[in-house]
Chains A and B, each alone.
Chain A
Amino acid sequence: KQEVTQIPAALSVPEGENLVLNCSFTDSAIYNLQWFRQDPGKGLTSLLLIQSSQREQTSGRLNASLDKSSGRSTLYIAASQPGDSATYLCAVRRYDRGSTLGRLYFGRGTQLTVWP
């Protein structure tokens, strides 16, 4: 069974700092990895998707990397802003035996607070 761990569980930083959020997974046989943002009481907003054959993806101030062999991904946030405050979730898509579409396995998330 796939286990996904995110470190740190919580992070509080001043505005303007560059941040690194970490995600690790136990089974490297993944199809892809997706980073999400979750605001309190809201759904999940997809930020970046990295296919298993890719090393990184970028969107604006966000950059996600994937090292499948070591079971790790990082989300880099440049020049953080108060509006970045949210919980960031990492999810890996894995095909279990008999699976046709695969399923997402989620971490618990990193709760980020950026203060002005």
Chain B
Amino acid sequence: EPEVTQTPSHQVTQMGQEVILRCVPISNHLYFYWYRQILGQKVEFLVSFYNNEISEKSEIFDDQFSVERPDGSNFTLKIRSTKLEDSAMYFCASSGQVNQPQHFGDGTRLSIL
């Protein structure tokens, strides 16, 4: 069964550095999302992306964050100048149509030191 793939599984970075989290959505999907889950807390929406542009972003998704679909298969989340509070599990998701289920990857655990 097709699945969403995320790399790396774990990223350790010094505070202030930039990180890029990578995702390969399911191949025929059109809608892409990033979520995060801080340890012990709810999964939170960050951003949705469709037709090569951001459709919606949450209050968390400030100028520090950006997303890109650099080619036909990858979908990336960039975090500039990371902070300690950016430590979380970051999930990528995709769906075929807007009213269809969102399918999630296994996540990237980001640890900021």
Residues of A with Cβ closer than 8 Å to B? 4, 31-32, 34, 36, 42-46, 49, 51, 89, 91, 99-108
Query: 6 closest pairs, A vs B, by CB?
Result: A44-B104, A43-B106, A103-B45, A106-B43, A46-B101, A43-B104
Q: Name which residue of chain A comes closest to B31, CB basis.
A: A101
Q: How far is the CB of A64 from chain B (nearest CB, A)?
A: 12
A45 touches B48 (CB 8 A): no
Task: Choose among B4, B41, B43 the residue that contacts A91 (Cβ–Cβ < 8 A).
Answer: B43
Q: Name which residue of chain B comes closest to A46, CB basis.
A: B101
Task: Report how many residues on chain B are interfacial, defined by Cβ distance under 8 Å.
Answer: 27
A43 touches B105 (CB 8 A): yes
Contacts of A42 in B (CB 8 A): 106-107
User: When chains A and B are docked, how far (Å) is the Cα of A32 from the Cα of B95?
Assistant: 14
User: When chains A and B are docked, how far (Å) is the Cα of A114 from the Cα of B106?
Assistant: 23
B104 touches A34 (CB 8 A): no
A103 touches B48 (CB 8 A): yes
A106 touches B44 (CB 8 A): yes
Task: Choose among B42, B43, B56, B101 the residue that contacts A101 (Cβ–Cβ < 8 A).
Answer: B56
Contacts of A100 in B (CB 8 A): 50, 55-56
